[in-house]
Amino acid sequence: MRTFELVRHEDETGVSGTGKVAEGIEFSNGKCAMSWITSFASVAVYDSIQLVKQIHGHDGKTEIRWVE
């Protein structure tokens, strides 16, 4: 398992804000769980880290930072 943060450099929608907006974990089977730490807090499960990036990456405006 490894953990990550979703860091938003530009908020296209005006909903989540910028900076660290979510915390996540990638399990050994490749699935990911992510918890939003914004005022619209929720938890979601994704099939892969690539899917997280595809959905929330906003063409590089949001990055996944791995936490050591």
pLDDT tens-digit series, residues 18-62: 889 999 999 999 999 999 998 888 999 999 999 999 998 888 889
* pTM for the full predicted model: 0.86
The amino acid present at 61, given as its one-letter code, is: K
What distances in angstroms separate CA 14 from CA 10, 40, 42, 53, one per listed residue? Answer: 9, 12, 17, 19
**Token digits of residue 48:** 């892969």
**Residue closest to 66 by CA, chosen among 52, 45, 55:** 52
